[in-house]
């Protein structure tokens, strides 16, 4: 007997408190119907940095960035000697060049930046003959070729002028803004503008349900994140209600919530959460004396004074030493600068011996995989130094860090990612790093840090089995890949 169809609904930035508030106020009937049948009702830890490109790639592949190689929202591409920017703000896009930012986000992220040897959920299910579908999501790589959409002539002409006429590989049914559409649906996203993206997803999803065009669909609802950046996490109840309205469209197309859930399994997940932001971190001023490479510059003879590349990503940041031969010489000074900077909570780096190091005002510790301590997901670690750095407790060999969920594994993945910086920063509660365009979300919400406030997002599911290894262990967004492919009887790698 074939398993029920599966919808993986990713509500960008959904904080657990916002979901509870929306349910309590009766403003989320679709999510309430899922909660009534829930087999999973918990929270899941994001990747670190807890920003959308890293988390989206982790959800889609079941791996963190040490495998998929997407290190942050903004990073320095050593192979191409330039910055990569996926869309921190319009001002940041202008700083690096809007055409280059669009090229990186729409094409290179999937085609060249993400590791080709790590399959996405679409690729794995495509290979198994499962009918796949996806609405606008940063990670769309699948096995099926798609030409640029031609449904809306003006949009098509404008897109071709910017991008040319290039095909991409995606799920069998791919709908990405107004750029790619595997068939005409009449649904428009106005190029993925905030406020239109959820509506586009709801329209497309309802069409796919009505015409029975998928077995697995990634149903992307990103507008909650945009709303939260402006209104803060406490304002999410309103945007959750809007996301729920699009889920309800999906259910109504299948005969209503009960009929839909009789035939469909649903996973609702956040890629990360949101935290309040009150103050900016003066990152560029602090590191300016070290010689920061300009946004459009290249290292080497053209930038004789530059020694580092600086990559802010909301509540996280990375520092790259441009001359790798000088890394060990320059790193202690960079660490000292970061540790002295108001608004920086944690500073992490790899030691010359290959260990991970993390420091805060509470001290310093070093760590590596394989040891006597067992974390909340069953990973084993050796740790020396001040446990207070990560506010950790150890009981009978069990290492727990509730303030920084899954701290060691998340840090290790970031530190061992081949495209990460040499120094990683996590902001203190209430702080954010302004981007290259000078934009921040002070008086709003943001994410990116290792802290639980913006790292623990919603995970709610019905009609799917709980993987045995998660029955008594903490959850990660990396588990969503295994849940999805396992639903169709495919073993997770």
Is residue 418 within 8 Å of 69, Cβ to Cβ?
yes
Dist CA 204 CA 42 (whole Å): 28
Would the pLDDT of 437 be above 60?
yes
Dist CA 43 CA 413 (whole Å): 20
Dist CA 77 CA 138 (whole Å): 19
Is residue 57 within 8 Å of 64, Cβ to Cβ?
no
Q: What is the mean pLDDT of residues 395-418?
A: 97
Residues of the chain with pLDDT > 70, as a percent, come to 96
Dist CA 225 CA 441 (whole Å): 12
Q: Report domain extents, the chain.
A: 5-70+114-274+451-487, 277-443
Is residue 64 within 8 Å of 413, Cβ to Cβ?
yes
Residues of the chain with pLDDT > 90, as a percent, come to 88
Dist CA 232 CA 198 (whole Å): 19
Would the pLDDT of 1 be above 80?
no
Q: How confident is the model at residue 297 (pLDDT cuts 50, 70, 90)?
A: confident
Is residue 137 within 8 Å of 61, Cβ to Cβ?
no
Q: How confident is the model at residue 102 (pLDDT cuts 50, 70, 90)?
A: very high
Residues 315-329 pLDDT 10s = 999 999 999 999 999
Amino acid 303: pLDDT: 74
Structure tokens at 402: 């509730």
Residues 113-125 pLDDT 10s = 999 999 999 999 9
Would the pLDDT of 266 be above 90?
yes
Place of tokens 């909570």: 345
Would the pLDDT of 302 be above 70?
no
Read off the pTM.
0.96
Dist CA 191 CA 432 (whole Å): 28
Would the pLDDT of 491 be above 90?
no
Amino acid 158: pLDDT: 62
Q: How confident is the model at residue 153 (pLDDT cuts 50, 70, 90)?
A: low
Average pLDDT over the chain reads 94
From 3.30.420.40, 3.40.720.10, 3.40.50.2300, 3.40.640.10, which CATH number describes the 5-70+114-274+451-487 domain?
Answer: 3.40.720.10
Would the pLDDT of 143 be above 60?
yes
Dist CA 370 CA 379 (whole Å): 8
Contacts 24+ apart (CB under 8 A), 203-209: 203/249, 204/135, 204/175, 205/7, 205/135, 205/246, 205/249, 205/250, 205/253, 206/249, 206/250, 206/252, 206/253, 207/253, 208/133, 208/173, 209/250, 209/253, 209/254, 209/260
Dist CA 334 CA 319 (whole Å): 8
Dist CA 421 CA 189 (whole Å): 35
Residues 193-210 pLDDT 10s = 777 899 999 999 999 999
Amino acid 191: pLDDT: 66
SS (H, E, C) the chain: CCCCEEEEEEECCCCHHHHHHHHHCCCCHHHHHHHHCCCEEEEEECCCCCCHHHHHHHHHHCCCHHHHCCCCCEEEECCCCEEEECCCCHHHHHHHCHHHHHHHHHHHHHHHHCCCCCCCHHHHHHHCCCCEEECCCCCCCCCEEECECCCCHHHHHHHHHHHCCCCEEECCEEEECCCEECCCCCCCCCCCCCCCHHHHHHHHHHHHHHCCCCCEEEEEECHHHHHHHHHCHHHHHHHHHHHHHHHHHHHHHCCCHHHHHHHEEEEEECCCCCEEEEEECCHHHHHHHHCECCCCCCCCCCCCCCCEEEEEEECEEEEEECCHHHHHHHHHHHHHHHHCCCCEEEEEEECCCCCEEEEECCEEEEEEEEEEEECCCCCEEEEEECHHHHCCEEECCEEECCCCCCHHHHHHHHHHCCCCCCEEEEECCEEEECCCCCCCCCCCEECCCCCHHHHEEEEEEECCCCCHHHCCCCEECCHHHHHHHHHCCCCCC
The partner residues of 90 in beta bridges, in order of sequence, read none
Structure tokens at 449: 């840090």
Amino acid 137: pLDDT: 96
Is residue 319 within 8 Å of 308, Cβ to Cβ?
yes
């Amino acid at each position: 007997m074939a398993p029920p169809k599966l919808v993986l609904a990713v509500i960008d930035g959904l904080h657990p408190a916002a979901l509870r508030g929306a349910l309590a106020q009766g403003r989320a009937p679709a999510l309430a119907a899922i909660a009534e049948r829930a087999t999973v009702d918990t929270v899941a830890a994001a990747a670190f940095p807890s920003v959308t490109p890293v988390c989206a790639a982790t959800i889609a592949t079941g791996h963190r960035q040490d495998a998929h190689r997407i290190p942050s929202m903004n990073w320095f591409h050593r192979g191409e000697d330039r910055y990569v920017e996926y869309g921190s703000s319009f001002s940041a896009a202008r700083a690096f060049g809007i055409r280059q930012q669009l090229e990186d986000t729409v094409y290179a992220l999937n085609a060249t930046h993400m590791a080709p040897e790590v399959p996405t959920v679409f690729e794995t299910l495509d290979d198994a003959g499962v009918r796949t579908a996806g609405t606008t999501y940063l990670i769309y790589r699948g096995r099926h070729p798609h030409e640029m959409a031609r449904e809306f002539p003006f949009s098509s002409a404008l897109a071709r002028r910017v991008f040319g006429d290039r095909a991409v590989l995606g799920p069998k049914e791919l709908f990405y803004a107004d750029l790619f559409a595997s068939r005409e649906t009449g649904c428009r996203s106005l190029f993925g503008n905030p406020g239109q993206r959820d509506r586009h997803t709801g329209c497309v999803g309802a069409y796919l349900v009505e015409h029975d065009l998928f077995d697995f669909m990634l149903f992307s609802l990103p507008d909650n994140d945009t709303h939260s950046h402006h209104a803060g996490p406490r304002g999410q109840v309103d945007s959750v209600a809007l996301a729920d309205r699009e889920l309800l469209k999906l259910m109504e197309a299948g005969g209503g919530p009960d009929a839909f859930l009789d035939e469909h399994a649903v996973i609702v997940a956040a890629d990360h959460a949101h935290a309040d932001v009150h103050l900016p971190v003066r990152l560029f001023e602090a590191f300016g004396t070290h010689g920061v490479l300009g946004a459009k510059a290249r290292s080497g003879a053209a930038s004789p004074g530059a020694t580092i590349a600086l990559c802010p990503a909301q509540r996280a940041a990375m520092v790259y030493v441009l001359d790798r031969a000088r890394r060990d010489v320059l790193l202690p000074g960079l660490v000292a600068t970061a540790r002295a900077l108001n608004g920086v909570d944690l500073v992490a780096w790899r030691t010359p011996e290959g260990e991970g190091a993390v420091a805060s005002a509470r001290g310093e510790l070093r760590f590596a995989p394989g040891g006597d301590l067992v974390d909340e997901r069953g990973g084993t670690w050796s740790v020396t130094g001040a446990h207070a750095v990560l506010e950790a407790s150890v009981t009978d060999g069990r290492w727990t860090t509730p303030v920084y969920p899954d701290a060691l594994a998340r840090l290790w993945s970031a530190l061992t990612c081949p495209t990460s910086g040499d120094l990683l920063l996590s902001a203190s509660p209430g702080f954010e790093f302004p981007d290259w365009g000078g934009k921040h979300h002070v008086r709003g919400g943001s994410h990116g840090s290792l802290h639980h406030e913006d790292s623990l997002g919603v995970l709610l599911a019905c009609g799917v089995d709980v993987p045995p290894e998660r029955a008594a262990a903490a959850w990660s967004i990396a588990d969503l890949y295994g849940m999805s492919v396992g639903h169709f009887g495919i073993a997770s790698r």
